[in-house]
Amino acid sequence: MIRKQLFLPIFSFIFMAPVMGMDDKCMIRFTSNFEENFPYLVNDAYENEHLNNYAMEQYVFNQKKSIQTMNAAVERGAKVYLTVGAHSENKMDAYQSTTIKRDPRIHGKVTVGLDESPSKKKPTKGVLLFGSANTTNQTWKHKAGKPGAQFNFEAGIEIKDDMDIIPQAYNMIKSQSPMKPAKEKITIAESPKKISIYSSKNTNLNASLALRLNNAAKRNDKVRVRSMTFSDPEVTNALCALGPNAELIVDSAALTSKSIPLLQQIHDAKTLVHVFYPPEGSHAKQHGKDAVIKGEGKNSYINFTANITAEGDKQRNYQLYIPNNQQVITDAEEDFEKEKKETIPLPEALKRKTEATAQKSIAKKQKIKK
């Protein structure tokens, strides 16, 4: 009896140890260029000699050091499947990847590295970089308040050694299957219970986000959302349903004739709308794209590569759902609050835009007279 009692705890420990070890190896964290330089994360991924298989999708990929580290990984024998957008800054002759494709439909910003190709052997190590940041000089640390600063606000997720999500992301990014027609795409009905990635190739990303926000409104949850531009009616209605329980940050680029009525509608529903309006001459942007949903036992973080627009669902984009990770939620909330300090309320932004438009009109007339 004594032997049996001793054996059971020992056996339990031996049985549980590998599981505990696997949990310890996995890492997931929120990343922001308030704290770090996004190109360095890409460089670290390519310089990791344990990783030999990469799939990378970047709307813009022109950061020289990151291109060099990718090329060096290929030289050491790694395979890199690279897809870039049709942006003029993408110089195809600079890339020495295993395969290169230029695709005008993509808008993703995802880098995945694995030690083994999932089609040949089960991977045991890997990294996933996901978020709003292209691999460009615009994604260095944000110098908030520095005169002439040109850096974008960005938000992302870094995941290491999670062998459930990383191989799935690798296959998704590497795949070149065509996008389904809108009527054939699914809307995510049930929120995932574990980290999950979805593609606009077969998912209505905006409708899925709107459904999450509507459910949050029913539960009286607190919500924070960021997007550079904004023009989706479903998400608009969901934010209106949340009212004062929600906040939205957009870039001044969202102040268009199509989008202003939607933003005004959200503002009128008592949802706080904050606008990043850079100083004259600056090209800095609010480029982050994410949502924090915080409620009683229903916390979730969603990071997406698309703006909340119709174009976001038509281009190839991705959403990453992270349920019930308190550290990610806390870090994302803190980042939102930091960025909010660099914004102005919607009414003030609209006034500033009207004044700027009037000044441009006067300058144009004066130039014609000369």
Task: Please write the tens of the pLDDT for every residue from 225-239.
Answer: 999 999 999 999 999
> What pLDDT, on a 0 to 100 scale, did the predictor assign at position 223?
98
Neighbouring C-beta atoms of residue 116, cutoff 10 Å: 16
> What pLDDT, on a 0 to 100 scale, did the predictor assign at position 365?
66
Cβ proximity of 313 and 118 under 8 Å = no
> What pLDDT, on a 0 to 100 scale, did the predictor assign at position 363?
66
Residues 6+ positions from 17 with CB-CB distance below 8 Å: none
Entry pTM: 0.90
Neighbouring C-beta atoms of residue 277, cutoff 10 Å: 18
> What pLDDT, on a 0 to 100 scale, did the predictor assign at position 322?
98
Q: Which two tokens stand for residue 342?
A: 């660099």
Tokens 């959403």 belong to residue: 319
Tokens 């606000």 belong to residue: 153
| Bridge partners, residue 158, by sequence | 29, 129
Neighbouring C-beta atoms of residue 111, cutoff 10 Å: 28
Angle between helices 205-219 and 233-242 (to 10 degrees): 10
CA pair distance 176, 108, nearest whole angstrom: 13
> What pLDDT, on a 0 to 100 scale, did the predictor assign at position 121?
94
Q: Which domains does the chain have, with CATH numbers?
A: 27-176 (3.30.870.10), 184-370 (3.30.870.10)
Task: Please write the tens of the pLDDT for every residue from 94-152.
Answer: 999 999 999 999 999 999 999 999 999 999 999 999 999 999 999 999 887 777 777 89
**What would the DSSP string read from start to end of 149-193?**
--PPB-EEEEEES-TTHHHHHHHHHH--PPPPPGGG-B---S--S
Task: Please write the tens of the pLDDT for every residue from 300-334.
Answer: 999 999 999 999 999 999 999 999 999 999 999 99
* pLDDT level of residue 16 (50, 70, 90 thresholds): very low
